A and B are shown apart, each in its own frame.
Chain A
Amino acid sequence: MSWFRRQNNRPKKPTESRDLPDGVWTKCENCSEILYFKELERNLHVCPKCGNHFRIRSHKYVEILTDPGTFQETNANVVSKDPLKFKDSKKYTDRVKDAVKKTGMNEAIVTGTARLDELPVVLGVMDFAFIGGSMASAVGEKIARSLKLCLERKEPMILVSASGGARMMEGILSLMQMAKTSVLLARLRNERIPYISILTHPTTGGVTASFASLGDVILAEPGALIGFAGPRVIKETVAQELPEGFQRSEFLMKHGFLDRITPRSELKQTVGNILRVFHDGVNASSHAGIAFRPRTSVPLSEHDPVPLSDHDSFGASEGGNGSMPILELPDPDGSTTT
């Protein structure tokens, strides 16, 4: 199976034409504070004064989320074609070529395997710099292959989204990538393989209306624009002013569509903690796939601590060994799910 093939070459460092040279000052677009670039970089491109999360490139997220030296890119050579022979002011093929040149990437997502806090994971990071992080057939295919890898290895999926939606220049095929990724997520869910969705600024359109909204746990960076329709389209449709903070992370949180708003500096730790809980939960049950039944969850609060017996009822741990793959589950009929 071709998707299983892994490339051993290290990911090449994408060219950083957007990055400023050392020693340059930069202005926070939110609070107008003048910031020393080096300091901003040390702070993961978050304004130290107001907490504004600057948009960063996919390789930065790879750096932030994975243990050093563990990331191995997969399917870097899956790239776009031009099924519609699409041309507006520019040919689509030229648009892609320009994006490749500008970003140093082959497509709007980088995928690979890595360790996060020592846990093996499959990671995908979309990059807004590549045609607005738009979902093309190649993007859908790379996500699908990553999800298949998760199923094969029983490893969790982590997907960082940043996208304006489907890539119009691939027409209906780009729309269908929503279905393609979502039907595989149904399999992950059925197999109890965790999927953590991380939303960054901006995540809209077909990406939000598919995999980005389907995480077992959904995290978002503060202040990210997240929505189905873009604010401009909504404003035109409803012909009224939009509410304050509309479609920002905090708005989604308030309406119940996010688990947590997590600052960039805490992403790795938060994901690691969540994955470990899932891992230990599944591995603690003695007949993982069979004995583990979803139970009514107990609402937790300071006043209502989880009773100890709840932990005990999973039985003795037989996994948890660092060398074991995460979420080793019995395969009832011995068939792989691809």
Chain B
Amino acid sequence: MSNFWLEFEKPVVELETRISELREFTSGSNIEVDEELKRLEKKADRMRHDIYTKLTRWQRVQLARHPRRPYTLNYIGWMCEEFTELHGDRAFADDPAIVAGLARIGGKPLAIVGHQKGRNTKENIHRNFGMPHPEGYRKALRIFELADRFRLPILTFVDTPGAYPGVGAEERGQSEAIARNLREMANLAVPLVTVIIGEGGSGGALALAVSDRVYMLENSVYSVISPEGCAGILWKDRAKAPEAAEVLKLTASDSLEQGVIDGLIDEPVGGAHRNPEMAAAAIRLQVEAAFEELGNLDPETLLQKRLEKFLNIGVYQE
């Protein structure tokens, strides 16, 4: 995974590697090398501009799924001074595809819940590729209610291909678990902020995102169905996922335009994985501002506004 790069990233990464190598091997000043470096830097700038200002929706999907992309626990590590992970749904199991716990950001206490993907095969088997079972959603709800009881604002990170479609998941009520979260999140009398950091896959994502503020990282996606799934249904060909991504309009700016999210968080040029700490700092800034603002509302107003926000989503005519 560590040397994985997307096709469209490769030219930039190669050029950047050449630049840094050139820097490393020339100590002191060397006018010729300096000239060459300047030229290459300029070229790299132009190349980055060309690629990253014209990303297709499918390229954004690829960035959202990038194996190097920071995951929930990475962001927690960069954003929080303190994180005490809590486990289990108290009914069946602990689902490693969702992490939850108590944390501090800038000294302020809060609860954090998020989907968690794995970085390699072994981790991904453990985390089930970030696809939760019902017990994951039930753990999330348990922590939400804990937070509500102790007046802790809640931050959720969304990063899942979707809730797991498996036999055990159905037996244990995947639908019920998701549905219950959607309903109960409407009752949590504490500020709720969600950041979609990678894949916002359908109901499995929404079950952590019925929040007062929902933000998306610039290269994350939010969709009712995966592009592959959509292509399979529309054209009986999962390979047509890039076309499906276009028609589904699943990018952060698409979601913002449709009034589904509250804001977009800029990523470092090239994506969050090119400078994860910078991405974390941008998220922290947005999240702190949102909590500050929401903290001024009394609980009743907060709940009423949350309800109205979701009631206003949708496009129809009469």
Q: Which residues of A contact B (CB under 8 A)?
A: 2, 75, 77-81, 83-84, 86-89, 136-138, 140-141, 144, 166, 168, 170-180, 182-187, 189-190, 205-206, 208-214, 227-229, 233-234, 237-238, 240, 242-243, 246-247, 251, 255-257
B225 at interface by CB-CB < 8 Å? yes
Interface residues of B (CB under 8 A from A): 163-167, 169-176, 178-180, 182-187, 202-203, 206-207, 209-210, 222-225, 229-230, 233-235, 247-250, 254-255, 258, 260, 306-307, 310-311, 313-318
Interchain CB contact under 8 A, B307 and A137: no
Contact B210 A174 (CB under 8 A): no
Contact B178 A184 (CB under 8 A): no
Contact B311 A180 (CB under 8 A): yes
Task: Assess the B173–A255 pair: CB atoms within 8 A.
Answer: yes
Contact A171-B183, Cβ < 8 Å, known A229-B174, A237-B165: no
Cross-chain contact B186 with A183 (CB below 8 angstroms): yes
B203 contacts which of A88, A206, A238, A247 (Cβ < 8 Å)? A206
Given known contacts A166-B224, A214-B179, is B165 in contact with A228 (CB within 8 Å)? yes
**How many Å lie between the Cα of A330 and that of B307 in the bound state?**
22
Residues in chain A near residue B306, CB distance under 8 A = 183
Please give, as numbers and ranges, the residues of chain B lying within 8 Å of A229 by CB-CB distance: 163, 165-166, 169-170, 174
Known contacts: A180-B313, A184-B307, A228-B178. The answer to whether A75 contacts B318 by CB under 8 A is: yes
Inter-chain contact B166/A190, CB cutoff 8 Å: no
Task: Name 12 interchain pairs, CB-CB below 8 A, sorted by A.
Answer: A140-B314, A141-B314, A166-B224, A171-B249, A172-B260, A176-B260, A183-B183, A184-B307, A210-B182, A213-B176, A255-B171, A256-B173
* Chain A residues whose C-beta falls within 8 Å of the C-beta of B178 in the assembled complex: 209-210, 228
Contact among A81, A185, A206, A212 with B315 in the assembled complex (CB-CB below 8 Å): A81
Give A286 to B82 CA distance when docked, in angstroms: 51
- Pair B167/A242 contact, Cβ less than 8 Å: yes
**Contacts A183-B307, A186-B184 given: A173-B260 contact, CB under 8 Å?**
yes
A261 vs B234: C-alpha distance when bound (angstroms): 34
> Lowest 9 A-B CB distances belong to which pairs?
A229-B165, A137-B314, A182-B182, A183-B186, A186-B186, A208-B175, A213-B179, A228-B174, A138-B316
Q: How far is the CA of A12 from the CA of B303 in the complex (A)?
A: 39
Closest to A77 in B: B318
A-B contacts at CB below 8 angstroms, number: 191
B314 touches which of A77, A173, A206 (Cβ 8 Å): A173
Q: Which residues of B contact A138 (CB under 8 A)?
A: 314, 316
> Are A209 and B187 in contact, CB atoms less than 8 angstroms apart?
no
Q: How far is the CB of A205 from chain B (nearest CB, A)?
A: 8
- Which residues in B have their C-beta under 8 angstroms from that of A183? 182-183, 185-186, 210, 306-307, 310-311
CB-CB under 8 A from A144, the residues of chain B are 311
Is A179 in contact with B166, judged by CB distance below 8 angstroms? Answer: no
Knowing A166-B224, A229-B170, the reply to whether A173 touches B234 (Cβ < 8 A) is no
Q: How far is the CB of A66 from chain B (nearest CB, A)?
A: 24
Q: Are A88 and B317 also in contact (CB < 8 A) when A234-B166, A237-B166 are?
A: no
Q: How far is the CB of B34 from chain A (nearest CB, A)?
A: 49
Q: How far is the CA of A69 from the CA of B287 in the complex (A)?
A: 54
Partner of B170, one of A166, A171, A247: A247
Q: Which residues of B contact A233 (CB under 8 A)?
A: 165, 229
**In angstroms, how far is the closest chain B Cβ from the Cβ of A206?**
6
- Other 7 A-B pairs with CB < 8 A, given A84-B248, A168-B233, A228-B203: A77-B318, A86-B247, A171-B224, A210-B178, A214-B183, A229-B169, A237-B166
Collect the chain B residues with CB atoms within 8 Å of residue A80's CB: 316-317
Using known A-B contacts A179-B210, A229-B165, determine if residue A81 contacts B224 with beta carbons closer than 8 Å: no
List the A side residues contacting B183 at CB < 8 Å: 182-183, 185-186, 189, 214
Chain B residues contacting A175 (CB-CB under 8 Å) are 202-203, 206, 223-224
Which chain B residues border A210 with CB–CB below 8 Å? Answer: 178-179, 182, 203
A219 to B60 CA separation, bound complex (whole angstroms): 43
User: Most B CB atoms within 10 A — which of A187, A205, A228?
Assistant: A228
Give which listed residue, B179, B248, B315, contacts A211 with CB less than 8 A: B179
- The answer to whether A209 and B203 touch (CB under 8 A), given A171-B248, A180-B313, A186-B184, is yes
C-alpha spacing A166/B225, complex, angstroms: 9
- The answer on a CB contact under 8 Å between B318 and A238 is no
Give min CB distance, B80 to chain A, whole Å.
27
- The answer to whether B179 touches A83, judged by C-beta atoms less than 8 angstroms apart, is no
B171 partner residues in chain A, CB cutoff 8 A: 251, 255
Q: What's the Cα separation between A255 and B176 when bound, in Å?
A: 12
In the bound complex, residues from chain B placing their C-beta under 8 Å from that of A212 are: 175, 179
**B185 to chain A: which residues have CB within 8 Å?**
183
Interchain CB contact under 8 A, B174 and A209: yes
Minimum Cβ distance to chain A for residue B97 (Å): 14
Q: How many Å lie between the Cα of A223 and that of B235 in the bound state? A: 31
Q: Give Cα A2 to B316, complex, Å.
A: 14
For A136, the closest partner residue in chain B by CB is B316
User: In the assembly, what is the distance between CA of A190 and CA of B247, in Å?
Assistant: 39
